[in-house]
Structure formats: C-alpha cells, structure tokens
A = this chain, B = another copy of it.
Amino acid sequence: MESLNPNFKEYVENRIKANKFMPFLGFKITQIEAGEITGELEFKEHHSQQNGYLHGGITSAILDMVEGFAAYSLVRDGDLVFTVEAKISYLNRGMGKKFFAKGWIIKPGKRFHFCEGEIWYENEIGKKIIVAKGSATMAVLAKEDLK
C-alpha cells in the first residue's frame, strides 16, 4: 500500500510517543508498514476481567490503536486521523501470556480509511488463537482544515 507521506514511519512514531495511554496499558508497537501496524502486550494481572482472562476493554483499546496508526501511516505529514466508529467481535477468550495485534487498511481513501484488526495469542502448541476481530472507520482531518 502506498503512503502519502515518504516519512510515514517517523510520523507514526511521533504520534505513538504523544500517546499517554499506550505505555500506561503496556502495549508496544513492534512494526510500522504503510497501511499495516503490528504490536504486542505482555499479559499482567491488572489486564484481567472478572474471570481472569484479558479484559475486553483492553482488546478494543488495542485494536483502536493498531487500526488508528495504520491510518496514520497513509496520510500526509500533519494530517490528523480520528476514529468515527469501530466494531469488535469477540471470537475466543483471551487466555494467553502474550498477545499480538495487527491493524490494516482494507480500503484507503481521501476522507476515510476503512480498517480491520485482529488480536491473537499462541497456545501451548503454537497455534494462533484469534481473540477478537475488529473493523473501523478512520476519518482524515486535513491539516488545511485544522484551524
């Protein structure tokens, strides 16, 4: 996928640094490609819901991050991205020690980027178990319209 920003990695990295909630949560971005963002989370006790599994709210927060940064990787330097709406389907319980997440663009556009995302872990025999699948609409706010 082609980005409108030749320095998109740097731009996404700067947006990540400005994000205070991501380090608080413990989620880390591990790879930045044009239209595709990957990251991971080490599971800690404070990430659990009432039955000991990964909290659904963390799942949706992480999908929002990888999907949103996937959109940021395509826009021009200075343009902003904001989430219009997102849906998440919970396919399997989050029972891993480490979770992986990927967000990608299924249809780029001038005004919107349509995204999808997945969060998964590997079980004891190395099989990928998908915890949740997401789909989101990210709107582009052009720098010219910012003020």
Contacts and interface: CB of A to CB of B under 8 A. Distances in A.
A125 interface: no
Contacts of A127: none
Interface stretch (A1-9, A28-36, A60-68): A60-68
Interface residues of A, number: 48
A124 interface: no
A87 B87 contact: yes
Contact of A55 (B16, B19, B55): B19
B114 A139 contact: no
A98 interface: no
Given A86-B88, A114-B133, A58 B61 contact: yes
20 contacts: A18-B50, A19-B48, A20-B48, A21-B46, A21-B48, A24-B46, A24-B47, A51-B80, A57-B58, A57-B64, A60-B60, A61-B61, A83-B90, A84-B90, A87-B88, A91-B114, A106-B133, A107-B130, A133-B135, A135-B135
